Amino acid sequence: MSEQSCAPTERGILIIGLGLIGGSLAAALKEAGFEGRIVACDRDADEVARGIDMGLIDAGSTELAPWVADSSLIVLAVPVLAMEAVLRELAPHLGDQVITDVGSTKGAIEAAVERVFGGMPPRFVPGHPIAGSEKSGVAASNPALYRRHKVILTPRADTDPDALARVRALWAACGAELLEMDVARHDQVLARTSHLPHLLAFSLVDTLARQDERLEIFRYAAGGFRDFTRIAGSDPVMWRDIFSANREAVLGALDEFEAGVARLRRAMTDNDGDAMLAVFDRASHARQYFDTLLNQTSYQAMEQRNIRYRVTPGGDVRGRIRVPGDKSISHRSIMLGALAEGVTEVHGFLEGEDSLATLQAFREMGVAIEGPHQGRVTIHGVGLHGLTAPAGPLYVGNSGTAMRLFAGLLAGQAFDTELTGDVSLNKRPMGRVADPLREMGAVIETAEGGRPPLTIRGGQALRGIRYDMPMASAQVKSCLLLAGLYAEGETRVREPAPTRDHTERMLNGFGYAVQRAADEAWLQGDGRLTASPIDVPSDISSAAFYLVAAAITPGSDLLLEHVGTNPTRIGVINILKAMGADLELLNPREVGGEPVADIRVRHAPLKGIDIPVDQVPLAIDEFPVLFIAAANAEGVTRLRGAEELRVKESDRIKAMADGLAILGVENTVHPDGIDIVGRADASDTHVAHYRGGHVDSLGDHRIAMAFAIAALRAESEIVIDDCANVATSFPGFVDLARRVGLALEEQEVS
């Protein structure tokens, strides 16, 4: 987001080079209310005169020396190859002025500065606004040119902090978004995202323009040609200078592009439809991702957004709804479908950001994937050994499931990979999967404290192990079974308590034998997966919010359709029934090896219980909303044996305890659980059970949704901060909540 700032307080600003960039800077400063003097120097006297006539600058000329002394900040807006000559002319007149520039190749500019001054002056702050136009000259100046556009600054360790702050203030006044990076990184990024596209556009137009039938070609060219080649209308001299100044980085980007074209040419020569589809589909979704980044709606951009929920008390919970597909099964459907031989059709896929991150990661490893479209995904599997090395780190968003399962299947690949996630995920412990994988022969490096990012070295010979898990974790179990697909011999995992068994069920569905007995699951390595259709049931973790909503609200009657009722996932149902909830499972059936049912829930008085320890692993993700059920029960609800809640997206025990306390719900926190004193009794079914308040979800989607449900029985509004991550697990939560009767308002907060 743009920095909020008043106009800079410089006594005077000198712009050297009054073209589009320099003129637009002057125009933006004038519009922002800058009260100092803006002067300019340009070798074209007509440009200076035009800038004065337009009211952009107060004075100027073709001479540099007269304007330096009275200016406290100098902006170099000349072509990159002209920079050294301008600096040599400027140097004798300098005092303590702050200097910045607008060049797009920082390495060349830094080298020119060092040749002139013998080093980088501390008050020189290199900068580059990512904005422009095909038009040129001061007449094209636009005061909005930098608004909501990025300006990259490349300060060094010894850059004067005051100088940096003043340059930041300059661009912030223009409405720009300020970023900082080192010079080498800047030039590499710009070579790929700006310089290479311009080079290709110039080349394509030049190639076609030299053909005899060029008039016919251009006459019938469609919008795609126009859009792609628009940038070839840019200033040729400027771009010649840019390509010369950033030669090495552009040549590196061109090498990568030529290699990509060669791969596509081979696929076309061989009539390899899957290879072509993989390229086109990966590119299509990368382009869509670029759009969502610009609009601040993607899973990577959401860290920059602050979503707040305001939920008004009251309402009933009635109707018939189907919540999105199961996230755990959606993750696994993509993973196993990609590693299978043949084409896997998936229906009911959860189009949430976590699942989409998994899907995109496999695209980056060469898997052709069609969709998703209304929950349908088609995966062209490459087999267990068909993945290819991604171009960079694999980003899995906020998903601990994806991170841990990927660690297992990537440990057996021939190439190196790096796994990273968002800020929240990168704080979560990964030693619980890294340590047993190392016992199998994997080479895995973690950040400090065993946290992401994970670097997984390829080409390792894995061996099967027998592993007794110290904690009940489906993620750890699944990780080791997936690594076992690539291991020599048998991989056997024993769990201290039952956990969800989606991986075992789905592996068997894909024709890979997994044995299960008592508390153990095991498989032999070196098998194969065969493509199989998957119908993803609705996620019981998402359904849980509405189960509790109806259970605590007088007059409610809600039917949830096609909900997964896997025995390893129904802890929330068992616990709610034990508390007295009126729950009924209708039309039980099996779909693709997974049991499903429709669930009808109506209001009934709830009572506090001691939650059975054997149900804890079966409801580990649902406890935030179960705590809301406990707050609306009569008596005390006690939870023990839930240490796992401490290392989820947040410390969910503490986060919920803090929020409940704000609402006036008495609770006592224990290392492995919590006691919650319910505020209900049998005679107060139509009154509020606690007050409203302002709570912080700590970026945890389940905390945010739980307190939204709590508002149904609050005496005043509940405001919940930091709710952007709800999209990671439950797209459409707000719309469904409103549909069943919640008065929920979603706000974006600056």
Q: Residues within the annotated binding site for phosphoenolpyruvate?
A: 327, 400, 428, 475, 652, 702
Q: Can you tell me the distance from the alpha carbon of 560 to that of 317, in angstroms, rounded to the nearest whole number?
A: 12
- By residue count, the chain amounts to 750
Q: Can you tell me the distance from the alpha carbon of 430 to that of 442, in angstroms, rounded to the nearest whole number?
A: 14
Residues annotated within a binding site for 3-phosphoshikimate: 327-328, 332, 473, 475, 621, 648
Q: Can you tell me the distance from the alpha carbon of 21 to that of 138, in angstroms, rounded to the nearest whole number?
A: 8
CB 452 within 8 A of CB 430: yes
Q: Which residues, in sequence order, are bridge partners of residue 306?
A: 749
Two structure tokens written together for 171: 């661009």
DSSP string, 443-496: EEEEEGGGEEEEEEESS---B--EEE-SS--HHHHHHHHHHHTTSBSEEEEE-S
Residue 119 CB coordination number (10 Å) = 10
Instruction: Respond yes or no: is residue 206 known to be catalytic.
Output: no
Nearest CA-CA partner of 532 in 266, 341, 351: 341
Two structure tokens written together for 241: 């200078």
From the list 621, 696, 700, 722, the catalytic residue is 621
Cα distance between the two ends of the chain: 8
Sign of CA dihedral 441, 444, 445, 447: negative
Q: What stretch of H or E contains 260?
A: helix 247-269
Residues annotated within a binding site: 327-328, 332, 400, 428, 473, 475, 621, 648, 652, 702
Q: Which residues of 520-557 are buried (b: 16+ CB within 10 A; e: fewer)?
A: ebbbbbebebebbebbbbbbbbbbbbbbbbbbbbeebb
Looking at residue 41, its amino acid is C
CB 455 within 8 A of CB 431: no
Residue with tokens 């909503």: 549
User: Three-class SS of residue 12?
Assistant: strand
DSSP string, 195-207: IHHHHHHHHHHHH
Q: Rounded to the nearest 10 degrees, how much is the dihedral formed by the CA atoms of 668, 400, 302, 191?
A: 150
Q: Can you tell me the distance from the alpha carbon of 644 to that of 650, in angstroms, rounded to the nearest whole number?
A: 11
Q: Can you tell me the distance from the alpha carbon of 60 to that of 51, in angstroms, rounded to the nearest whole number?
A: 9
Q: Can you tell me the distance from the alpha carbon of 132 to that of 154, in angstroms, rounded to the nearest whole number?
A: 19
CB 144 within 8 A of CB 151: no
Q: Can you tell me the distance from the alpha carbon of 225 to that of 403, in angstroms, rounded to the nearest whole number?
A: 40
CB 648 within 8 A of CB 641: no
Q: Can you tell me the distance from the alpha carbon of 592 to that of 184, in angstroms, rounded to the nearest whole number?
A: 51
Angle at 348 between CA 343 and CA 351, to 5 degrees: 95
2: Cβ contacts below 8 Å, ≥ 6 apart: 147, 148, 172, 175, 176, 177
CB 451 within 8 A of CB 429: yes
Catalytic annotation, residues: 621
